[in-house]
Every structure is written in C-alpha cells, then in structure tokens.
Amino acid sequence: MVADDAAFVRDFLPWHADVARDWLGTRERFAHAWLIHGAAGTGKLQFARACASRLLCEQPRGHLACGVCDACLWLRHGNHPDFRALRPEAVAAAEGSAQPDADNATPSTGKSKAPSRDIRVEQVRSLETWLNTATHRGGHRIVLLYPAEALNAVSANALLKILEEPPEHTVFLLVADAPDRLLPTLVSRCRRLPLGLPDKPAALAWLAGEGVGNAAAWLAAAGGAPLAAARLAQAGGEPCPAWLRRWLQAVAAGRANAIVPDLLAELEKQPPDTWLDTFQRALFDLACVQAGGSAHYYPGLADTLAQAGARLSRVDTAQAARWLTTQQRVSRHPLNPGLFTHAVLLRLSGMAAS
Ligand SMILES: [Zn+2]
C-alpha cells in the first residue's frame, strides 16, 4: 500500500532493493545518524521503515526482516521497546493513529486543538531517558524521524545536542524531502543517504501493479515520483486538470483575467497546496517550452503550453515561478483561503495579461 501507519514494513519498493541490499550489507550503517533524502513521493519513508524493521529483526533474511520473530511482531503492534517514531501530530493523525503516540509523550491537556505540524521539542526531549538506558533486546535502538523538515528551531537544536554525544547502539533515521530546509549543523551530524527517482519503466511497472490506469500521464504529472503519482490518481480527476487547460487557453488568448472568477469557484474547493503545485509545475513547463524544450509534467498539454508560452516573456514566467514559491509557504497557513486563492489567481493572470 502507499500509506501504512504500522511501524513494521518488510518489503522495499523495487527501485530501492539494490540500495537497501548495499546499505544493509555494510558496516557503514552503524553511523549513528542517517539523513535519507530525495524527491517527495518516491517511498523514502517505506525505505526507512523497512530498514528499521530489518535492523531490529532477530532473524533477518538477507536484506529483509523476517516478519515473524518477536521483534517483528512487537514492531507490527507498535510496542517494540527499542523503537521510537517522531513525527508531527498532524502526520500521525493523517496516518490514522487514533491515539497520541506513546512514544511522543504528548501531555493530554483535555483541550481539542489543531494537531501540531511541528516535531515539538517535548517529543525530542522524551527520548533522553530512553536513550540513557541499555537497549532492551541487546541489539539496535532505532529512532525514525519524519519529515525532518518538521523540526522547528528549538526541537532541531535539542536533537543536535543528542547527536553531539551519540548514544550507543542507536541509529537515527531522519527522512527529508528537502535537506536544505534543515539546520545545517544538524545535517553535518548525519551521514547522507540520497535516494533518487526510480527509472521510468520501474515506476510504470509499479503503478500498473497498483492498478493505476493512464500511468504514464500520472507519473509525468508527479514529476516521475511514483507514490505521488498513485496518490494523485487516487484523488481522482485527470492527470492534466481541466481547469489548468482552461487557464492556459485563456493565457494564450490574452484573456486570463476574464476567467479568474470561474477558476476561483473551482480552486476554492481544493486545498491550496494542491493547486499551487499544479501552477508551479505548469510554470516550469512553460519555461521549458519557452526555452525550446518539451513539457516535463504536462506533456498532454504541449500545444496549449506552446501557445501560452508564446504569449508570455521568459522573464515574466521566471518571476511568476519565483513568486509562487514564496506563496507556497503562506499556503500552509492562509488567514483567509478564499482571499489567498483570489490573490494568486490575480497575480498569475495579471502576468498573462501584460
Ligand atoms: Zn524478524
């Protein structure tokens, strides 16, 4: 499955099997902190979980956990004494954890409030006592932390302190899409394990196995990231959203401002980060087409992209793309989603009208 809230994961995704075999086959893994990073939607978390399962397994088979020993069963039931997962409450909630994680030591305030999107300093500090005791099973102790970008300045510094005096037998697995957003001193304490995009045939074969139709178009729309492609396909709609086609056609016709109300009604129904991603990819494609290349994300819109690209200057496209990046930060906490959507549409359509 694409998402799995169980800590135990036996299998690696096909494109990770070789790197897992290499990594688990060397003593290098005994570095105390690893930063597993690469493009979003490629299965890094599954990789990290399968590695954690394999490292804790008491009867491993090659690079895989056995799935039946005590350690594997404890992990499967979420009570392995030598394993902790640190993730924001919002991520735990999205994964379907009904209870606050015991390992997060979240104090119950009795108040209901939005789950935190940060890995909080209390979560990091809750590791300290545990790290100072001997491992229960005499093997590894694993801390799986994701996404590492969710560490705020305070919790990142608390983790840094721990990593400066690494506890024995402990392996930290930090999973991140964007290591450049992490505290540089924290990154410098980790060994890096980059995981690249799978090659296209492997990604398409996996998507076919997951029952995703029109896999090539979904994979392109997700920038080559198969799990992201599967999630997009699952969410419904089509790989090239109809509203994007309409917007590009309006840009090409020099009347982008006229369809702002129409698009506003449609986009207000979606989470901002979804349609912002789509715009960002479309602007990337516009830039590619304007530079004489071909569309990367939306090859199905090649003609419309070419017509829209001819209407715009390359400078306008580049400036709009940069501006959109700044809006992605705002999109996570817009004060007024409707106004935010309107402002973005006006900015982008204004570029097209100039
Ligand atoms: Zn096992």
In this predicted model, what pLDDT tens digit does every residue of 60-94 receive, in sequence order? 999 999 999 999 999 999 899 999 999 999 999 98
- Report the separation in Å between the CA atom of 65 and the middle of ligand 1, taken as the mean of its atom positions: 5
Return the exposure string of 146-183: e unless at least 16 CB atoms fall within 10 Å of the residue's CB, then b. bbbbbbbeebbebbbebbeeebebbbbbbbbbebeebb
pLDDT tens digit string along 130-159? 998 888 887 889 999 999 999 999 999 999
| pLDDT of 249 strictly over 80 | yes
Count the Cβ atoms, other than its own, within 10 Å of residue 198. Answer: 23
- Report the separation in Å between the CA atom of 137 and the middle of ligand 1, taken as the mean of its atom positions: 13
- Report the separation in Å between the CA atom of 63 and the middle of ligand 1, taken as the mean of its atom positions: 11
- Report the separation in Å between the CA atom of 135 and the middle of ligand 1, taken as the mean of its atom positions: 17
- Report the separation in Å between the CA atom of 64 and the middle of ligand 1, taken as the mean of its atom positions: 8
User: Between the ranges 12-21, 233-242, 321-330, where is the mean pLDDT highest?
Assistant: 12-21
Surrounding ion ligand 1 within 5 Å at CB are 57, 65-66, 69, 72
Distance of CA 126 to the CA centre of its chain: 25
Q: How confident is the model at residue 6 (pLDDT cuts 50, 70, 90)?
A: low
pLDDT of residue 261: 94
Query: What span, in angstroms and rounded, lies between the C-alpha atoms of 207 and 231?
Result: 11
Secondary structure of 65-104 in HEC code, one letter for each residue: CCCCCHHHHHHHCCCCCCEEEECCHHHHHHCCCCCCCHHH
- Report the separation in Å between the CA atom of 60 and the middle of ligand 1, taken as the mean of its atom positions: 6
- Report the separation in Å between the CA atom of 51 and the middle of ligand 1, taken as the mean of its atom positions: 12
- Report the separation in Å between the CA atom of 48 and the middle of ligand 1, taken as the mean of its atom positions: 16
pTM of the model: 0.85
56 within 8 A of 82, measured Cβ to Cβ: yes
- Report the separation in Å between the CA atom of 49 and the middle of ligand 1, taken as the mean of its atom positions: 13
- Report the separation in Å between the CA atom of 13 and the middle of ligand 1, taken as the mean of its atom positions: 19
- Report the separation in Å between the CA atom of 58 and the middle of ligand 1, taken as the mean of its atom positions: 5
- Report the separation in Å between the CA atom of 172 and the middle of ligand 1, taken as the mean of its atom positions: 20
Q: Which of 208, 63, 89 is nearest to 150 (CA)?
A: 89
| pLDDT of 29 strictly over 90 | no
- Report the separation in Å between the CA atom of 193 and the middle of ligand 1, taken as the mean of its atom positions: 24
- Report the separation in Å between the CA atom of 72 and the middle of ligand 1, taken as the mean of its atom positions: 4
209 within 8 A of 231, measured Cβ to Cβ: no
- Report the separation in Å between the CA atom of 27 and the middle of ligand 1, taken as the mean of its atom positions: 20
Distances (CA, A) of 345 to 4, 249, 273, 288, 323: 36, 15, 14, 22, 12
pLDDT of residue 175: 98
pLDDT tens digit string along 268-298? 988 888 899 999 999 999 999 999 999 999 9
CB-neighbour burial class of residue 84 (10 A; exposed 0-12, middle 13-18, buried 19+): buried
- Report the separation in Å between the CA atom of 43 and the middle of ligand 1, taken as the mean of its atom positions: 22
- Report the separation in Å between the CA atom of 71 and the middle of ligand 1, taken as the mean of its atom positions: 6
- Report the separation in Å between the CA atom of 104 and the middle of ligand 1, taken as the mean of its atom positions: 25
3-state secondary structure of 341: helix
- Report the separation in Å between the CA atom of 191 and the middle of ligand 1, taken as the mean of its atom positions: 26
- Report the separation in Å between the CA atom of 66 and the middle of ligand 1, taken as the mean of its atom positions: 4
Lowest-pLDDT choice from 57-66, 99-108, 313-322: 99-108
Q: DSSP letters along 113-163, please? A: -PPPSSB-HHHHHTHHHHHTS--SSSS-EEEEE--GGGB-HHHHHHHHHHH
- Report the separation in Å between the CA atom of 75 and the middle of ligand 1, taken as the mean of its atom positions: 9
- Report the separation in Å between the CA atom of 77 and the middle of ligand 1, taken as the mean of its atom positions: 13
| pLDDT of 352 strictly over 70 | no
